[in-house]
Structure 1
Amino acid sequence: MLISIILFFLIVIAVSLFIARYRKHSNKKTDRRSRETWAIGIYKGPSPLQLSPAADISNPILTAKDVTDIKARFVADPFMIQNKEGFHLFFEVLNDSSDLGEIGYAFSADSQHWQYRNIILKKRFHLSYPYVFFWDNRYYMLPECSDSGGIQLYEAKRFPDQWELAATILKGNGRFSALADPSIIHYKNRWYLFSYAIKSKNLHLFSSDALNDGWKEHPKSPIITASPQFARPAGKLVISDGTIYRYAQDETPHYGTRVWAFRITELTELMYNEEAVGDEPILQPGNELWNKDGMHTVDAHKSGSGEWMAFVDGFTIKADPLTV
């Protein structure tokens, strides 16, 4: 009888240890996403569709180790805006303690040497994809904040480090309850906003006469349905030689694998059409450690010389401590 009781308790202990090990394997510290180490680099090329590692840049230009004011797990989602002072870079910093994204800021006078400054925006919900732009003599940011219940527009009260909520331009409800990676463009006197519905994997399109309000879903929206490969925005919309291009993050076979480009052939208040640019992605896993497992953001800018400079991100996957 005593032996049976002892065996029973030994079995209970063994099962408990197995469950604890399984949970540890599944939590944020050991699952695949938590082992992704993202970093930021610069690519260059003759067009926003032909980009490769820049010969005059030592990539990556920013990593989690550069972040000095919080313990960062990684940096990703770079968006740059340039003015007479220099190059201002905004990006996601994943706080390792809270497991929430915050918006970080770095500066460069020459685009080659970068200095991390500080976290410039944090909330009680996750922030990433800080889509920054300049309009009507004001700096704006449209970050990914789907956990807030809507799409929020921020305005710089003191650029680059003080931002305030200007408007919630779309409120989450129904199929718009979790819209990710909002990407905006002003084209022919009208605003257009692309955003990704995480659950349905649809790409939705909205338009408005004004930036702060009046947003309505486009008659052709969703413009892409049930596509983890081509629906999710992957960076700033660009105009080159009068044509708009949008980048799409490929989530197959996993999140953040590569980036495709699409040429928008028609964009009006009532119509939308696009076509794929070639049969190959414009960004894919690189040959260096920092981006060997995938890339998922492109922020491309044309320089005065005609060359394009793109801020990109990439990741590598750390070994699972439970399998080594």
Structure 2
Amino acid sequence: MKKKVILFSIVSIGLLAIVINYRTPFLQPQSGPWSIGFGLSEKFPDKMLFEKNILYPLEKLKQHNDSTAFLADPFFIKEKDTFYLFFEHKKYAPNADIALLTSVDGVNYQYKGTVLKEKFHLSYPQVFKYKNDYYMLPEAKRSGHVLLYKAANFPYGWKVCDTLIKNRELKDPTIYLSDTLNVMVASDDHLNMYMFEADSLHGKWRAHKKAKVMMGTEARAGGRFFADEKGLLLPVQNSTQGYGYGLSIYRFNFKGDNYTVKRELPFFLKRNEKIKEFNAGMHQLDIQKVDGKYYFVYDGNRLESDVKDLNFRGPIKWNYVDLKNWFYQQQCEYFN
């Protein structure tokens, strides 16, 4: 009897390990430099055809500054005849700054240097226009707050103009503003995404009554909200095979003071073996309607080598939290 129990335990543990490894491998690739890509579509793309799009790789940026080690998290805004593309730019460890590329055709970009530098790490430079002024909501987690910046002389002169959330370290705050809805999502270090709401950009931001949106390996925003006739779409990072592996699109629908969330386009971006710059993963997308067409920018990174690192703790943790998230979503749907 004892031998049967031992054998059953070994088989059960083995099967569990196979299931966990299948979904989130214990052996994970070593990722290297990041690059930015961009493209144009007549309609909202069902999928990305990266082979037809244009890249701005790390090597091109290095022509301007040999110390460049990183470019990622692209966000853009088009004003008059110019595309302004802001991105995370790491020159010297440990912190990154915000830098700028500009283009008059959305294809040929020119490097304009650093536009925002702090004593703490900056990334995710979500830039937007609100009531004729230009704002940036970057990730400033290491400052301990969610900080809002305003441009004194766009695209330069960025200064803190407001603290939207105080004394809370949050990643990748992503905002949506309209006449009827003002919401923001952001994530913590424990794989949880939270929602906040306010009466306006400069109003008092507070936790939504259903504050926790999701948790697990897809619980961190990967780009700005996009509004269509059905509601809001949000790119969300996927880290099942390591940080930066892919990105899914989620649908948010708001009704009164409640909302629902649905995974609408799984793995809209992910590792692409055909393009060396993106053969490790992709994790950022900014898509907007510009002059009647859909213009988008995204990022991805390449494999550092064929060597893979052994990681036991991560896959076990991520599968456990994803299972919790599944039960949480089922409960939310039941009560809604």
TM-score class, shorter: 0.7 to 0.9
Bigger radius of gyration: 1
Q: Comparing both structures, which one devotes a greater share of its residues to helix?
A: 2
For residue 48 of structure 1, report the CA deviation from its aligned partner.
5.0
Task: Map 1:1-324 to 2 at 5 A.
Answer: 36-45=32-41, 46-47=43-44, 49-53=46-50, 55=52, 57=53, 59-63=54-58, 65-66=60-61, 68-69=64-65, 71-95=67-91, 97-172=92-167, 177-198=168-189, 200-225=190-215, 227-228=216-217, 230-266=218-254, 268=256, 270-278=257-265, 280-286=266-272, 287-305=274-292, 307-319=293-305
Give % identity: 28
Q: CA 1:90–1:271 in 2, change beyond 3 Å: closer, same or farther? A: same
For residue 99 of structure 1, report the CA deviation from its aligned partner.
2.3
3-state DSSP of counterpart to 1:93: strand
Q: Where does structure 1 differ by over 4 angstroms across 4 or more consecutive aligned residues?
A: none
Distance 1:214 1:78 in 2: 28
For residue 296 of structure 1, report the CA deviation from its aligned partner.
0.3
Kept in 2, the 8 Å contact 1:44–1:54? The answer is no
Distance 1:104 1:117 in 2: 7
For residue 213 of structure 1, report the CA deviation from its aligned partner.
3.7
Extract unaligned runs of 5+ from structure 2: 1-28, 310-336
What one-letter code is carried by the residue in structure 2 that aligns with 1:262? Y
Counterpart in the other structure of 2:326: none
Extract unaligned runs of 5+ from structure 1: 1-31
For residue 161 of structure 1, report the CA deviation from its aligned partner.
1.7
Q: CA 1:142–1:263 in 2, change beyond 3 Å: closer, same or farther? A: same
What one-letter code is carried by the residue in structure 2 that aligns with 1:237? F
3-state DSSP of counterpart to 2:277: helix
For residue 301 of structure 1, report the CA deviation from its aligned partner.
1.4
Q: How many residues align?
A: 279
Select the structure with the greater relative contact order (CA < 8 A; seq sep ≥ 6). 2
3-state DSSP of counterpart to 1:182: strand
Kept in 1, the 8 Å contact 2:146–2:169? The answer is no
For residue 219 of structure 1, report the CA deviation from its aligned partner.
0.3
Kept in 1, the 8 Å contact 2:51–2:275? The answer is no
Distance 1:48 1:161 in 2: 32
Distance 1:49 1:92 in 2: 27
Distance 1:267 1:194 in 2: 17
Return the TM-score normalized by structure 1.
0.80
Kept in 2, the 8 Å contact 1:259–1:297? The answer is yes
3-state DSSP of counterpart to 1:223: strand
Distance 2:177 2:201 in 1: 9
Task: Tell me the alpha carbon deviations over residues 187-220 of structure 1, each in whole angstroms, 9 at most, x when there is no partner.
Answer: 343321100112x211100001121240100000
Q: CA 1:207–1:179 in 2, change beyond 3 Å: closer, same or farther? A: same
Kept in 1, the 8 Å contact 2:221–2:234? The answer is yes
User: What is the Cα-based RMSD across aligned positions, in Å?
Assistant: 2.3
Counterpart in the other structure of 1:14: none
